[in-house]
Amino acid sequence: MSTMPVAGVRPGTPEQPADLVVRNAKVFTNDPRRPQATAVAIRDGVIRAVGDDADTVPLVGPGTRVVDALGRRVVPGLNDAHLHVIRGGLNYVMELRWDGVRSLRQALAMLREQAERTPAGQWVRVVGGWSADQFVERRLPTLAELNAAAPDTPVFVLHLYQSALLNKAALRAAGFTRDTPDPAGGQIVRGHDGEPTGLLIAAPGALLLYSTLAKAPTLDEADKVDSTRHFLRELNRFGLTSAIDAAGGFQSFPENYGTVMELARRGELTLRIAYHLFPQTAGQELDDLKRWIDTVRPGEGDEWLRLNGAGENLTWAAADFENFTEPRPQLGAYESEFEKAVRMLMENGWGFRLHATYDETIRRDLAVFEKLAAEGLFPQGNRWLFDHAETVSGESLDRIAALGGAVSVQNRLSFQGEAFVSRYGAAAAAEAPPLRAMLDRGLTVAGGTDATRVSSYNPWVALHWLVSGRAVSGRRLAAEHNRLDRARALELFTLGGARLTGEQDVKGRLTVGSYADLAVLGADYFAVPEADIAHIESVLTVVGGRIVHAVAEHEGLVADLPAISPEWSPVARFGGYQAGSAPGLAGAQQADRVLEAAAASDEQFAWRLARGSAVPGQSALPQDPCFL
């Protein structure tokens, strides 16, 4: 019996009909045997057919949802190989995101409004994902601006791993006084009167910044669950379908993993997460690792939530913080504890990931690995990798390859590129990290963001950086040979992560038998001008055959999440990443920037006028960075 045609396809009665067919698309499969297709058919969360529209027709039954992609680009779902997604989810709805905001003026307007809608006892938190380099004003807010925007509400603004700005109310709430001593590796800046000014500096460690943030109230358990769901949806907005969690400070196991585990149990994850375990307390690392080795196993879980190993921190003494405004940290003799930690992991079949920014650290780590390898303790198949590796040398890459390691790179220089250039020079930045040298050696290289506290979680900002070599300031950092073509960059953000979790046969390509994880993009990644790559979003994201994000012509295909709680949440008011319009032609981009700069300087002129430091009738003067 025939039924109504669906999107031009008359359903038949196939034995095993597809649940979902996406057709009339430009499908980039990432499969060299069939790089392009127009349709994908999905059943039970797995891809059953990839080919021309006609190839999927026999799989369309009366219950099949057929999605017409209207000729749009479809790519495999993105996989962020280094994302602090679990911690990000627990905090998401409490944080004001400056991600994507293009002027400090707008950022401060958001802050002012959020301060007004934040109840007593709560804080306004801006915790990374932005950099002064992205603002047309090219500067941080001043403490005076924070105090003016929020006279009574505590405000905490984290800028990368470099500094935090606190208004007076936050200094009071955090209990900082003239008598508070500077902690090791951090500086509480004091004014002429000896009182803390509100500026905290990572010198070079970020612990002072994070421990201050930890004094702000957290969400209750129910709100943490909802916050995480909203964060995962926000990631789905950009076509992200998988992430590898790098753990992090203030992410204790098992306490802080309970929320994602609960969501996995309920079947409510919309992002696949492979997670790592990170010892929290200096001096107790070996005890923590031992306890985990005794109680859990890498690989435990399922394709939605799985333990992938230890790291990105193994022992605190071995961690080299990447604060490029400060000299490279001089690490003490960390090798003996570090060797014990790695030995324990390797003896027990645990893989790990290891945070290491500088070649100086990587060389020392490799010497430990090579010693263990000589004892037969570095078998192939125990997955391990270096994270970051901005200044890794060719010689170290050879040693990593010889030991069967991988590298996970992030676009931290999108946000910190200017600081890196100032300290190490443009020639060093051109090779940071040396992508071409990694790929030429055949190393497994995965791409990520390192969000949420330094970089933004928007993977397209990272893809733009991989392709263009440009920071968010617009400055081109990477050498020509160190930039990737679009297909290769996308491979780092799809197959790259899949390789780090051993899932390369089922994830990262659109092939028959792969997980049905894909994104229909709002703009064609392979055709848009380079500058527009950073502005791409997904219009339809599918994970495991389930539609988890649907906008534009697909609006309504997925149910809304419960309203954000608490009501005063900055995300409820402003959303997450602040999308600007894609610049398109370079001239339009230029005009946009000029307009924004003019508006900013008019405002500054008014400010100067009010203080008698400008003459009425005279034009606005060039911006004076020292106007405080």
- Shortest reach from residue 196's CB to Zn ion, in Å: 28
How far apart are CB 312 and Zn ion at their closest, in Å? Answer: 5
Is 447 or 545 the residue whose CB approaches Zn ion more closely?
Answer: 447
What whole-number distance in Å separates Cα of residue 26 and Cα of residue 520?
A: 9
Q: Smallest distance, Å, CB 314 to Zn ion?
A: 12
CB of 457 to Zn ion, least distance (A): 15
Residues 183, 202 contacting (CB under 8 angstroms)? no
Identity of the residue, 272 or 355, whose beta carbon is nearer to Zn ion in the bound complex: 355
Residue 71 φ/ψ, nearest 5 degrees: 80, 5
Q: Which one, 323 or 511, has the nearer CB to Zn ion?
A: 323
Q: Which is nearer to Zn ion, 312 or 337 (CB)?
A: 312
Give the residue at shortest CB distance from Zn ion.
355
3-state helix, strand, coil split of the chain in percent (to 5) is: 35, 20, 45
* CA 164/CA 39 separation, integer angstroms: 49
Element (H, E) at 85: helix 85-91
Helices 285-295, 335-347: axis angle to 10 degrees equals 0
End-to-end Cα distance, the chain? 78
CA dihedral 550, 552, 556, 558 (to 10 degrees): 0
DSSP string over 180-227? PPPPTTEEEEE-TTSSEEEEEEESS-SHHHHHHHTTS----HHHHHHH
Query: Strands 445-448 and 78-83, how do they pair?
Result: unpaired
What is the spatial distance between Cα 544 and Cα 592, in angstroms, rounded to a whole number?
A: 40
Of the pair 125, 355, the CB lying nearest Zn ion is at 355
- The Cα-based distances of 341 to 290, 369, 624 in angstroms read 9, 11, 51
Binding site for Zn ion (CB under 5 A): 312, 355
CB of 350 to Zn ion, least distance (A): 19
Closest CA to 338 of 301, 374, 372, 295: 372
Comparing CB distances to Zn ion, the nearer of 114 and 357 is 357
The least CB distance from residue 323 to Zn ion, in Å, is 12
HEC-encoded secondary structure of 496-537 = HHHHHCCCCCCCCCCCCCCECCEEEECCCCCCCCHHHHHHCC
The residues, any chain, with a CB within 8 Å of residue 233's CB and separated by 6 or more, are 270, 548, 549, 561
Cβ of residue 354: shortest distance to Zn ion, in angstroms?
9
Q: Which is nearer to Zn ion, 68 or 320 (CB)?
A: 320
Residue whose CB is less far from Zn ion, 115 or 213? 213
Residue number, 409 or 472, with CB nearest to Zn ion: 409
CA distance 45 to 543: 8
Shortest distance, position 476 Cβ to Zn ion, whole Å: 25
Minimum distance between the CB of residue 200 and Zn ion, rounded to whole angstroms? 20
Provide the minimum distance between the beta carbon of 485 and Zn ion in the complex, in angstroms, as a whole number.
27
Give the ranges where 237-379 is alpha helix by DSSP (H). Answer: 258-266, 285-295, 335-347, 359-374
Distance from C-alpha of 243 to C-alpha of 84, rounded to nearest angstrom: 9
Asked if 104 and 625 touch (Cβ cutoff 8 Å), the reply is no
Q: Which is nearer to Zn ion, 276 or 554 (CB)?
A: 276
We find the least distance from the C-beta atom of residue 135 to Zn ion, in angstroms, to be 25
Query: Considering the complex, what minimum distance in angstroms separates the CB of residue 240 from Zn ion?
Result: 19
Q: Which is nearer to Zn ion, 74 or 385 (CB)?
A: 385
Q: Rg of the chain over CA atoms, in angstroms? A: 25
**Which residue number, 49 or 406, has a Cβ lying nearer to Zn ion?**
406
For the bound state, the minimum distance from the C-beta of residue 186 to Zn ion, rounded and expressed in Å, comes to: 18
Nearer to Zn ion, 311 or 570 (CB): 311
Q: How far apart (Å, rounded) are the C-alpha atoms in residues 459 and 364?
A: 31
Q: What is the DSSP letter of 480?
A: G
